[in-house]
Amino acid sequence: MKREFNIAVIAGDGIGPEITDAAIRVLKKVGEKYGCKFNFTDVFAGGCAIDKYGEPLPKASVDACLAADSVLLGAVGGPKWDTLPGHLRPERALLGVREAMGLYANIRPARLMPELAAACPLKMASEGVGFDLVIVRELTGGMYYGERGRREGKYGIEAYDTECYGTGEIERIGRVAFEMARGRRRKLTSIDKANVLESSRLWREVMHRLAAEYPDVEYSDMLVDNAAMQLVRDPGQFDVIVTSNMFGDILSDEASQITGSIGMLPSASLGDGKRGLYEPIHGSAPDIAGTGKANPLATILSAAMMLRLSLDMPEAADDVERAVSEAIRAGLRTADIAAGGPSIGCFEMASAVVERI
């Protein structure tokens, strides 16, 4: 078994540095306990890279990510860079690194933690009904990577973006989702807009072909507008969701919000190999950056996903997740999940997790 891992760390902007520091402290503790070594390399991407190098994703940063066993990312972006042209915005760094690393599968779990049910905006939570779902979002295709441009049109200058998916692209994300469903409650919902979009009709055809290969998984299709509604009406009906890049972007924000604790949700982006990119679902929260108030748990749980999915350390992953649950159960809260009650800071929360590993 491998005992030394090289982790590229894109701390990024806003609260990024604080929350990645917290996750690094946790990984160091894991290293001590499980007898392995993590080497961390700082990588510049996003707004801080624009400030330092004049571009959101310098080639050296891409190379560092490609050379690592895995990548830990805090968050990128902030109001300071919001007025830059599209190709120079911090968000380009995310799209660029996903593409360069071939990370076509974005795994976004959304689970209602019983201890935090009070923060859930849905009535069902107060009635004791929970949910535990995973969104598998296609991450390197569709409209976010399609042909785009501007041209002269009937109403003046017009702009266009195109949604295009190939059979192989749909099949590989479909397989990730079917396999994921197999490891969970064996239920998969594919979300599309097949009543309107040709790309969705192909998506559905391919998913149906795959469904025949996975008879043990209960498969269904759902239109995206209905899915947006079902997610707030009865999220407990979902186990695994698979969908396109854009629909997944939108629905995963909705899913994270209904947990009431977006500061707790990790994510993984994977390709064909073992290497992945792990980041919290939330953004760079410029309003609280530098105040020490950020919730590091989503980033710490992202590190746990890295241990499980990329570094073959499932026990250590369980250990970190248990430590987080215990800290929550002990009543420790950062301000975002404290519902107005007493709270601790980012550093203290990380210490509470480290102590429990």
By annotation, the residues acting in catalysis are 144, 193, 225, 249, 253
x-or-dash string of contact with Mg ion, 190-219, rule CB under 5 A = ------------------------------
- Report the residue closest to ligand IPM, judged by CB: 91
Task: Give the interface segment with ligand IPM, choosing from 91-99, 118-126, 210-218, 299-307 (CB under 6 A).
Answer: 91-99
Our CB check for ligand IPM shows the closer of 8 and 135 to be 135
Tokens for 338? 């404290």
> Which of 66, 84, 95, 223 is the binder for ligand IPM (CB under 6 A)?
95
**91 is a site residue for ligand IPM (CB under 6 A):** yes
Could you tell me if 328 and 119 are in contact, meaning their C-beta atoms sit under 8 angstroms apart? no
Asked whether position 277 contacts ligand IPM by CB under 6 A, the answer is no
Judged by CB under 6 A, the stretch of 12-20, 89-97, 156-164, 211-219 that binds ligand IPM is 89-97
Shortest separation between residue 43's beta carbon and ligand IPM, angstroms: 17
> Residues 243 to 262: which contact Mg ion by CB under 5 A?
249
Q: Does residue 94 bind ligand IPM (CB under 6 A)?
A: yes
Rg of the chain, C-alpha, whole Å: 20
- 116-122's contacts with Cβ under 8 Å and 24+ in sequence apart are 116/259, 116/260, 116/261, 116/264, 116/328, 116/337, 117/260, 118/260, 118/339, 119/259, 119/260, 119/261, 119/337, 119/339, 120/258, 120/259, 120/260, 121/257, 121/258, 121/260, 122/232, 122/235, 122/258
- DSSP string across 141-187: SGGGTS-EEEEEETTEEEEEE-----HHHHHHHHHHHHHHHHTTTSE
Interacting partner of 138 out of ligand IPM, Mg ion, none (Cβ under 5 to 8 A depending on kind): none
In the complex, least distance from residue 253 CB atom to Mg ion, rounded to whole angstroms: 5
